[in-house]
Structures are given as C-alpha cells and as structure tokens.
Structure 1
C-alpha cells in the first residue's frame, strides 16, 4: 500500500504513479488527519510512504500519524519524499521512526518535484513545472523496480550540511517560520470555502463568509495554491508569484 500526504499534489502524483506501476493501492492520509480517526491498515505488499519534505524532514504531522497507525501484513517500509531541492538527513530519522512503529526501514528516495512553498521560495511557471514533473518519472520508475523486488534503496552519504538542515534548521523552521498569521484574503475572495475543505489540519474556519486561519497550520500551501480565485496571499512573500498545483496523475 502507498500511504501518502499531499498539500499541492506532488506527493499524490507520485503515489498514484507508484500504485499504477506496482498494481497497488494509494491511500490518502488527509482524511484521517482531518477527522482525527486512527488508521488501521493492512498490506501484503511493502509499505510505501510518500509525502513532502518540510524543513528537510518528513512533516511532523505525518510522522505523528504514522506513530498512531496500526500496520498489519508486510513489515517492509520505503519512503519517497518529494522536494524542491534536497531532503537533508531525513533518512536516519525515518529509520528511527520505523523502529518506533515496528517496520523494517528499506530506504528513502528524494524525488525532485516543482517547488510549491510560495511563503519562502520562488515557484516555477507552468512550463518549467511540467519539465520537472516529466524528469521525475525516471527515478520513480527505477524505484518501483527496487520495491517490486523488495530490495533497499541505495544508501545516501550525508554531509554535515545535511545533518544541520534536518536538525537545528528544522527546529528553527518549525519554531519561527511556520506561522498562519500572515495569511489573508484579497478582495477577489468569493467565500467559496474550498480552502477550509482542503485544510487537513482544520486550521481554516469560515467566519462571516471568509476564511480565518487559526494556529495549527503546517504550511502545506494547499490553501494558497488551490484557491480558484487566487485570492490568498502570505504577507508580501507570495505577492507576484505563480501558484503551483500538480495535476492528477493520468498515466
């Protein structure tokens, strides 16, 4: 089973490509997060966890969900982390996580996908984004061959920079960068409520027909990139930037 979390669609695209080529199922983690339900999952095939990279680690909210999930069947676990650049030293932390949840760590694949973090980084235009997605197919298909044979992903050599990014920089990122207060809507907002429906942390609530951001945001960027009216901004940092959302995988 492929168990995935996505904000703007990158990890969903990767998960569904994997499901297609491995003849497996792709299960979205978002409904469990939104409802607060505890998953109880079964798979005879290896577990494949696909998610974005937040501050050079697996998203904390996804790691916490995996810790409370019941896994039955296969004991092998592969991770695929979509990212705009690199995943730092995420691997050792994922190996430790597998020990906590009773699974055998089989490695992690960093998968370069279009950057979506409009709150901090430049975001590619449509043509450039498509080129990045097209280039992601080859490493992902190579990964399917290893998973099908239940062979581990190649180990990655980690630098001091990698360890710093996934260690103290990640702590700094969560402590000082992930804030919901800069989000606001422009006059283009029509109160459709799509942002609140997409928010798997239930951070967004509708008040008097407009979205209001509370304090449990995880910076998935689903709201700002998924707004059909392009009516959401993140302070001045998102102004003038394109909004990126990965289209559904179609084969």
Structure 2
C-alpha cells in the first residue's frame, strides 16, 4: 500500500511516531498512516516535528521483554500538550504483557492495540518459517483497517493480547532486561564482514563505530537486533546465541 507521507509532514489531523529495528513497526506505522491519511515519523529522527495542539497522536513500536523499548518510553515522557486523541499500537511476536499499561503511566492513551507480527528476536530462538511470516503479515494486513477505523472514529478501545502472567513479566522481566540485558559486550563481527557500515548507520543507540572498516560496539544498546538482522552477509553475532540461526527483516518494509 503506497502512503502519501512526507517525513515530518502533516497528515489528516494526526501524527504517528514509530520506533523500529527490523521493520515490523515501521511497516505497521506506514500502513496505518496510509489508511488514516496521516503522517508517520521515525521518533529517532532528530528533525522530527512535534505534534500540534489538539492533534491526535499515536505511537507504534515493538515489544521488548514485555515492555516498551527505552527510546519509546523516554519519548513518551517528553510529549507535551493536549492531544485530541492518544493511542498506541505495539507489534509483538505473540503477546505484550502489561507493556501498554506501563506506557499509559507516562502517555495516557484513549486506545491501545497489539498487532501480532513475525518474530525477529534471533537472540532468543530460531526464527519462524517463511510460511508463518507470510501468514502473520496477512493477518496483520486484515487487522490494521479495523484499528484505523476505530482510531478515525476516535473510539476508546483497549485490545491488547497480554498473554500469561502479564503483570509478572512486565514488572519483573522487563526491568531486568532494561538494566542487565542491553550490554554490547557480546556483539562481534566475523571475518565475513565487508566493512559496509550499514550496522553503524542503522543503530538507533549510536553504539557502533567503524574502526579500520570493522564495527566496534561500546556502551549499551536497545537490543533492537537491527545490526544482526540487517547485515547483508550475516557477519554479526551476539556471542554464541545467534550462530546458526536465521535473520529477519520485514519483507514488505
């Protein structure tokens, strides 16, 4: 679906901000923007526009360990002004836990949705087959017009698949992930690296620099897995966890 969107531009009375590592949330945000006639903007873009007073505001983002990614949470805290309508759409492999309730504390939402998308967390497990990826995308395409219709009607709605033990997962596992699981130390590039620099250019945490045409990681990252999944020669690994596993970038990004 082609979207008449100019980065940072205004759409039909709404601004959609998205965060995306491997393309799932970007894909969802752009399709949603096209359905609504609104603007979709990467919230990591330093030149992004701020929402106008009285404008509807939406956040589209992936779920990280049953919570919102750090940059999304930080961005939400900084949103000022009275929005006509606030909503959030989280993309997840299966369920979101209490991620939307957690975000709601800093970004009070009128509506919240979860959208099941292909699994991209190569650090945790082998990725899904092409058939499962296609089926998940097909279902997401069918679901997005329903979400867009409710947003257009400014209909308060909370349709989030939380999964089992959502409170426990979001309250205990997510803070542990944010504090202890985002070190860059396990990352390394194998001899297959071609020095293209794509990983450094795409890193939203600016945690990668090229030294002698080889990537080096410093500090902490968001663990978006963009560098691992987008490497054109699959040269980037995360310790032993990613060896022998597939890679994923949204095929319709």
TM-score range for the pair, normalised by the shorter chain length: 0.7 to 0.9
- Closer, same or farther: CA 44–87 of 1 in aligned 2, 3 Å: same
With over 3 angstroms needed to count, the CA separation of the structure-2 counterparts of 1:158 and 1:123, relative to structure 1, is closer
The answer to whether the 8 Å contact 2:96/2:161 transfers is no
- Hey, what does 2:66 align to over in structure 1? 56
Partner of 1:41: 51
Does the aligned pair in 2 maintain the 1:115–1:121 contact within 8 Å? no
Contact conserved, 1:196 with 1:211, CA < 8 A, in 2? yes
Q: Is the 8 A contact 2:114 2:161 kept in 1?
A: no
Partner of residue 30 from structure 1, selected from 41, 44, 69: 44
What displacement does 1:135 show? 1.3
> Which residue in 2 is equivalent to 1:102?
none
Provide the TM-score with structure 2 as the length reference. Answer: 0.87
Partners of 1:38 and 1:68 within 8 A in 2: no
Q: What is the distance in 2 between the residues matched to 1:53 and 1:78? A: 15
Q: 1:2 to 1:204 in 2, by over 3 A?
A: same
Which of structure 1's runs of 4+ aligned residues deviate more than 6 A? Answer: 157-160
RMSD: 2.1
With normalisation by structure 1, the TM-score equals 0.88
Aligned length: 239
1:87-126 correspondence to structure 2 within 5 Å: 87-99=96-108, 105-126=109-130
- 5+ residue gaps, structure 1, are 100-104
Residue pair 1:40, 1:71 contacting (<8 A) in 2 also: no
Counterpart in the other structure of 2:17: 3
Give the SS at the match of 1:40.
Answer: coil
Please state whether the residue corresponding to 2:51 is helix, strand or coil: strand
8 Å contact from structure 1 (residues 116, 123) kept in 2: yes
Q: What runs of 5+ residues in structure 2 fail to find an aligned partner?
A: 1-14
**What are the within-5 Å matches in structure 2 for residues 1-251 of structure 1?**
1-32=15-46, 40-42=50-52, 45-71=55-81, 74-99=83-108, 105-154=109-158, 161-249=165-253
Say whether the 8 Å CA contact 1:91–1:107 is kept in structure 2: no
- The CA distance in 2 between the partners of 1:53 and 1:188, in whole Å, is 31
Deviation, 1:38, is 8.1
Question: Structure 1 residues 146 and 43, CA, compared in 2 at 3 Å: closer, same or farther?
Answer: farther
